[in-house]
Amino acid sequence: MNDFDDPTATAHEAAGELRRRLGIDGIDVGLVLGSGWATAAEGLGEPIAECPLAELPGFSAPVVAGHGGQARAVRTPAGRIALILTGRTHFYEGRGVAPVVHGVRTVAAAGATRLVLTNGCGGLNPAWTPGTPVLISDHINLTAVSPLRGATFVDLTDAYSHALRTLARGVDPGLDEGVYVQFPGPHYETPAEVRMARTIGGDLVGMSTALETIAAREAGLEVLGISLVTNAAAGLAGEPLSHAEVVAAGQAAVGRLRTLLAGLLEVL
Query: Which residues form the catalytic set?
Result: 189
Stretch that binds ligand 8IG, among 5-13, 58-66, 162-170, 202-210 (CB under 6 A): 202-210
Calpha distance 247→157 (Å, rounded)? 33
User: Is 222 in a helix, a strand, or coil?
Assistant: strand
230 forms part of the interface with ligand 8IG (CB under 6 A) = yes
209 forms part of the interface with ligand 8IG (CB under 6 A) = no
Element (H, E) at 85: strand 81-85
- Which member of 11, 100, 124, 246 binds ligand 8IG (CB under 6 A)? 246
Question: Minimal CB distance to ligand 8IG: which residue?
Answer: 122
- CA–centroid distance for 101 within its chain: 10
Q: How many residues does the chain have?
A: 268
The answer for residues whose C-beta is within 8 angstroms of residue 209's C-beta and 6 or more apart is: 34, 117, 119, 136, 139, 180, 182, 225, 227
Q: 97, 212 in Cβ contact below 8 A? A: no
- Which member of 52, 57, 111, 185 binds ligand 8IG (CB under 6 A)? 185
206 forms part of the interface with ligand 8IG (CB under 6 A) = yes
35 forms part of the interface with ligand 8IG (CB under 6 A) = yes
Q: Which is nearer to ligand 8IG, 10 or 230 (CB)?
A: 230
Stretch that binds ligand 8IG, among 7-15, 60-68, 183-191, 211-219 (CB under 6 A): 183-191
- Which member of 30, 99, 103, 122 binds ligand 8IG (CB under 6 A)? 122
Measured CA to CA in angstroms, residue 22 lies from 50, 80, 120, 262 at distances of: 6, 15, 28, 22
69 forms part of the interface with ligand 8IG (CB under 6 A) = no
Q: Supply the minimum distance, in Å, between the C-beta of residue 193 and ligand 8IG.
A: 9
According to DSSP, the residues that pair with 136 across neighbouring strands are 178
The answer for residues whose C-beta is within 8 angstroms of residue 9's C-beta and 6 or more apart is: none
37 forms part of the interface with ligand 8IG (CB under 6 A) = no
Q: Report which residue type is found at 237.
A: A
Q: Supply the minimum distance, in Å, between the C-beta of residue 120 and ligand 8IG.
A: 3
- Which member of 58, 103, 120, 130 binds ligand 8IG (CB under 6 A)? 120
Element (H, E) at 18: helix 7-22
Q: Supply the minimum distance, in Å, between the C-beta of residue 38 and ligand 8IG.
A: 13
- Which residues are near ligand 8IG by CB under 6 A? 35, 120-122, 183, 185, 188-189, 205-207, 230-231, 233, 241, 246
